[in-house]
Amino acid sequence: MSATQPAQQDQRQFISGNEAVAQAARDAGCSVASAYPGTPSTEILEFIAAYPQVYTEWSINEKVSLEVAIGASLAGSRALCAMKHVGVNVASDALMTQTLIGAVGGLVLVVADDVGLSSSQNEQDSRYWGRFAHLPILEPSDAQETYAMTRLAFALSEQYEVPVIVRLTTRICHVKGVVTSSPAETYEPKGFTKDPARLVMVPGNAKKRIPLMMARDQVLRQVSEDHPLNYTENGSDQSVGFVTSGAAYFHVKEAYPEAPVLKLGFSHPAPIEKIRAFSTSVDKLVVVEEVEPLLETELRAADVNVYGKDILPRIGELSPSVLAPCISKLMGTPCKDELIPVEELFPRPPTLCVACPHLGIYYCLSHIKNTIISGDIGCYTLGAGHPWNALDTTISMGASLSVAMGIDKGRSEADKNKNVLAVIGDSTFMHMGMQGLLDITYNKGNVTVLLLDNRAVGMTGGQNAPSSGLDIHGEATMQVDFRKLCEALGVKSERIHEVNPYELPTLFKALRSETKVKEPSVIITNQPCVLTERYSQLPPLKVDDDKCTGCSNCLDVGCPAILVTRRETVIKPNGKEKELAFVNIDTAACTGCDLCTNTCAPDAIVPAFNVDKINAIEVK
């Protein structure tokens, strides 16, 4: 099970945890796999999609994704659904009922927590869902365990008729390790069996299922106590021992190889009695768990004396450099590890891509006054950063429209003359934004919606969505018509405008005119994500040094291909100081989108090559 065991030479693969999930699903005979893209879980479905024997789909959101998997399970097939941690919040409505119904074919929910917030709006501990929804949780520590536990999860799901959560973290998802696969199995779907008393959750039926769920909890608790995934590793130094799971296990082993460790693979329900017995074998017992003190709280409630978040951080990964000083302080011993102060690390704030169609939009928004702008989750969240500073709120997936509606209805006298604008991307709009627009039109809100259609799920790598007209395999399918969709949701036809975001004057005009209208309106931008095949690159640009005045207006676009080469402070005729910034353009990165030329009064931005060379460039 553990990567510490040597793999057979002829079966070794060097793969990530996400790829291990995909291979395990295939080898377990999984028939249906669904997901909505979200870092760090995105690659799971991309890998599964390569296996033709498994039906795969990018679902419209996590709730739909889980419901598709639930349907497949009820049809007797094995099904897997993958999502990042915040996705479970979206899927929870279905999840909380499915726990009463249970599984027929193996139903596995793979949840990837973004411990340390590498690309998420919050740090959330998905182990709570096991407690909340009465579901078992398996926690692998590396790619090998991820493969084995995912396969085991299907079997457990069928044996105890319960969906099983496989909890990953970013480190497990993306770090590669040696994995030895086991022979694939053929799974024959059981077929759908009519059973309304179990499958139709009206109150009368649901009440009868709750005692069964409670009884299942007791069975699973004993399974956890006896399960080989929860095992002890003896150590030579009994002064301190650890209870841990997931990626934290290897952090503990690296920092304290001589210490006894109780490793939890079947981490919920927790094997309380096994941990209690282990606690008597060490002088001090430390619970090392990322992020929340869930196990620690349960152990304290069971009168097991442990240390946990009283000595360890509650946010981020518990790496050896984090663990060592905390444990040294507990033990009263000096810490030999030297920590790298965070402030010494070179800051690298995220930004939009070169030529991103959102650049011009945020350039315009940064110059619009007297407007409250509600943002959303996706690439366009970056509009909150430098140089645009264009967003005033960003809460959760699809919330920009509803929050804007609340700002409109809740505005005080001080804001009565301000415009309210919501920004949302095409995939996010379909994920959870459509309801917000319907709420605005139905309840007569005064909100202008900027729907940034780049025809992809851009933030997670440009995956296809209904806006692209392609499915997960790149095959043609329906393509949503946002104009018709917005009209169907109640926006007047004359209040819907489609704009090329690279045409700044047109975009400015549309924004100014629609924000003055006292009714719902939508501005749809229509250029594709630059990272997709749909984007057509143009010949690159350069700066004519003799014409550049150092005004730095082009820097306000925020394009990463524009670089400052020299700064100079001058005294203006009115006596005030002004800083000039002279620039050049990284021609190798420039795609010739022409946004910066719109901002350059002296026409200092020109084609990088002469006409003959431009003609020689193959333009898509």
**pTM higher than 0.85, yes or no?**
yes
Cβ 84 vs Cβ 39: under 8 Å: yes
Is 308 in the same domain as 366? Answer: no
In the structure, what pLDDT confidence band is assigned to residue 347 with cuts at 50, 70 and 90? low
Is 347 within a domain?
Answer: no
Is 48 in the same domain as 127? Answer: yes
pLDDT at 3: 43
Dist CA 331 CA 333 (whole Å): 5
Residue 394's H or E segment, with its range, is strand 393-394
Q: Is 173 flagged in the annotation as binding?
A: no
User: Which residues make beta-bridge pairs with 83?
Assistant: 111
Is 336 within a domain?
Answer: no
Is 261 in the same domain as 383? Answer: no
Instruction: Give residues with Cβ within 8 angstroms of 289, minimum separation 6.
Output: 244, 245, 246, 248, 295, 296, 308, 318
Is 209 in the same domain as 88? Answer: yes
Is 234 in the same domain as 222? Answer: no
pLDDT at 554: 94
pLDDT > 60? residue 338: no
Dist CA 557 CA 491 (whole Å): 31
pLDDT > 60? residue 619: no
Q: Is 548 flagged in the annotation as binding?
A: yes
Is 239 in the same domain as 204? Answer: no
pLDDT at 342: 55
The mean pLDDT of 248-260, rounded to a whole number, is 96
pLDDT above 90: percentage of residues in the chain: 89
In the structure, what pLDDT confidence band is assigned to residue 242 with cuts at 50, 70 and 90? very high
Dist CA 460 CA 220 (whole Å): 36
Residue 604, token pair as written in the block: 């200092």
Dist CA 618 CA 539 (whole Å): 9
Is 514 in the same domain as 470? Answer: yes
Is 352 within a domain?
Answer: no
pLDDT above 70: percentage of residues in the chain: 94
Instruction: Give residues with Cβ within 8 angstroms of 341, minimum separation 6.
Output: none
pLDDT > 50? residue 545: yes
Specify the amino acid at residue 308: G
Is 42 within a domain?
Answer: yes
Is 219 in the same domain as 257? Answer: no
Is 6 within a domain?
Answer: no
In the sheet that holds 79-84, the strands lie side by side as 55-58, 32-35, 79-84, 107-113, 164-169, 137-138, 266-268
- 12-16 and 176-180: which strand pairing? antiparallel
Q: Is 559 flagged in the annotation as binding?
A: yes
pLDDT at 575: 86
Domain final residue, candidates 226, 246, 264:
226
Cβ 440 vs Cβ 447: under 8 Å: yes
Domain final residue, candidates 204, 226, 248:
226
Is 620 within a domain?
Answer: no
The CATH number that applies at residue 250 is 3.40.50.920
pLDDT > 60? residue 337: no
pLDDT at 340: 55
Output b/e per residue, 547-582; b: 16+ Cβ within 10 A. Answer: ebebbbebbbbbbebbeeeeeeeeeeeeeeeeeebb
The mean pLDDT of 200-208, rounded to a whole number, is 94
pLDDT digits (tens, 9 = 90+) for 381-409: 999 998 999 999 999 999 999 999 999 99
Is 364 within a domain?
Answer: yes
Is 31 in the same domain as 116? Answer: yes
Residue 305 vs residue 339, higher pLDDT: 305
In the structure, what pLDDT confidence band is assigned to residue 351 with cuts at 50, 70 and 90? confident
pLDDT at 141: 97
Overall domain count for the chain = 4
The CATH number that applies at residue 595 is 3.30.70
The mean pLDDT of 323-338, rounded to a whole number, is 85
Determine which of 135-149, 342-356, 592-606 has the lowest per-residue pLDDT on average. 342-356
Domain final residue, candidates 226, 241, 263:
226
pLDDT > 50? residue 486: yes
Q: Is 554 flagged in the annotation as binding?
A: yes
pLDDT at 265: 98
Q: Is 596 flagged in the annotation as binding?
A: yes
pLDDT > 90? residue 336: no
pLDDT at 611: 57
Instruction: Give residues with Cβ within 8 angstroms of 158, minimum separation 6.
Output: 103, 104, 105, 106
pLDDT > 60? residue 612: no
Is 459 in the same domain as 321? Answer: no
pLDDT > 50? residue 445: yes
pLDDT > 80? residue 9: no
Cβ 94 vs Cβ 66: under 8 Å: yes
Is 198 in the same domain as 276? Answer: no
Determine which of 117-121, 309-313, 339-343, 585-589 has the lowest per-residue pLDDT on average. 339-343
Dist CA 73 CA 126 (whole Å): 22
Provide the residue range defining the domain that includes 377: 357-525
The CATH number that applies at residue 361 is 3.40.50.970
pLDDT digits (tens, 9 = 90+) for 145-169: 999 999 999 999 999 999 999 999 9
Is 414 in the same domain as 283? Answer: no
Question: What's the whole-number average pLDDT of the chain?
Answer: 93
Dist CA 417 CA 440 (whole Å): 18
Is 301 within a domain?
Answer: yes
Instruction: Give residues with Cβ within 8 angstroms of 197, minimum separation 6.
Output: 205, 208
Q: Is 593 flagged in the annotation as binding?
A: yes
